[in-house]
Amino acid sequence: MATTLKLSELISSLSYALDITEGQPEGHCIRSCWIGMHIGAAIGLNEQQLWELYYAILLKDLGCSSNASRICELYLTDDRQFKQDFKLVGASLPQMLGFVFSNTGTHAGSWPQRVKSILNVLRHGKEMADELINTRCHRGADIARQLRFNENVARGIQSLDEHWDGSGRPLGLQGEAIPLNARIALLAQVLDVFHITHGRQAALAEVAARAGGWFDPELVRVVHSLRDNTAFWQQLEADDIDTAVLALEPAHCMVPLDEDYLDEIAEGFGQVVDSKSPFTAGHSQRVGHYADRIAAELGMEAARRRWLKRGALLHDVGKLGVSNTILDKPGRLDGDEWAAVQRHAGYTEDILRRITQFAELAQVAGAHHEKLDGSGYPRGLRAEQITLETRIITTADIFDAINAERPYHPATPVAKTLDIMRQHLHNAIDAECFAALERVLRAEGAV
């Protein structure tokens, strides 16, 4: 697998997970990359610079999950809708006020509570925005570095929300002090968002209006030079935009994607998932650990265990498409909320299935909420349809979900966790996998 899968294929496919976290139509990062790479080529960037730009744009939203829970807490609103609408807001006071009134307190329990929330944002909005963007930008840059990308890529992600006139965040950089990758990425992002929502002419008008404010005026001139490039716009709107973007990666700068690097990327995106909620911090890593140990206990050979651990690390990537108003809710979910949670398993499969070489892994990871008695989701599979690998991930996932603190229950001692799990043997939990988990926990001194 590692010899045939390219880094660009893997990252571009996983970028769809970042799109759903931001509440954007699928392919947003891909389309932004198409736009940005044409800007980069037009201003004469060399192959190395284009390669760095390519990954800075595909991974521009790498830190996007890290402030989702805080958005819900501060604004009493749906984080995904908030993020989606925020990308349409410029610097004008009427736009900002309209955004605040439309997106603050939408999940407040009462009208007085909503009014109080709006007043709090009007008083402290700048500090709140500073906190949220600072968290997002620095977290994204840190994960990019963990994924072996160089400082030019990391700084491009970190500086995505800086503005040409110095009014941006997190550092208030101005003009050419803003990394070129970030200047291009922000321009490409806004052009794509307005092109999708309002059409080509409105998108061009929007970036022109922000020239000298948000955007480098020279880069805006480059964008307007593409106004009559029919092939550029047709491909941007085409169903095969993914293939076109893969072809843009500079060939001489491609990085080998070996087994170790695949592991690191799976771990990195597992961190993106776990950053979505304070209650899931470390969850993917722990599920990966226990799935690997259970598989070893059951005698699975090393290469297959390594493959399985990647699936365990990525099993919840679909949760990036679920609002934190649901994920962090302390009480019982209503029918619509539960349906939204259930959709995450299908999202996981859809995202991983975009990677041709991950077809089997997508099915294994996406089925981690199926039950042996057929009462699980998303497909209601029965025992004979559920693979051993999925049963292992399910066992590890259930153990950590009960053992760790969640919004609806405190942390549960290991012994009690195992007692609870025993009640679900044969209908939800595979007995052999559970017995292997018990042996692992004894060996680790947990029981």
In this structure, what token pair is assigned to residue 225? 């030079």
Q: Using CA atoms, how far apart are residues 348 and 13, in angstroms rounded to an integer?
A: 12
Q: Is 319 a catalytic residue?
A: yes
C-beta separation of 294 from 284 below 8 A: no
Query: Residue 406 is inside which H or E element, if any?
Result: none
CB 147 within 8 A of CB 257: no
Cα angle 39, 40, 44; round to 5: 115
> Would you state the torsion angle of the CA atoms of residues 27, 28, 34, 40, taken in this order, to the nearest 10 degrees?
-150
Identify the active-site residue in 126, 319, 329, 371.
319
Closest CA to 189 of 13, 347, 396, 32: 32
CA–CA distance, 9 with 15 (Å, rounded to integer): 10
Partners of 325 in the β-ladder:
none
**Integer angstrom CA distances of residue 37 from 34, 185, 235, 241, 441:** 5, 9, 13, 13, 50
Structure tokens at 314: 């990525």
Residue 436 CB: number of other CB atoms within 10 A?
Answer: 21
* 394 closest CA partner among 375, 415, 411, 370: 370
- Calculate ∠ Cα 284-285-290, nearest 5°: 100
Supply the residues annotated as catalytic: 319
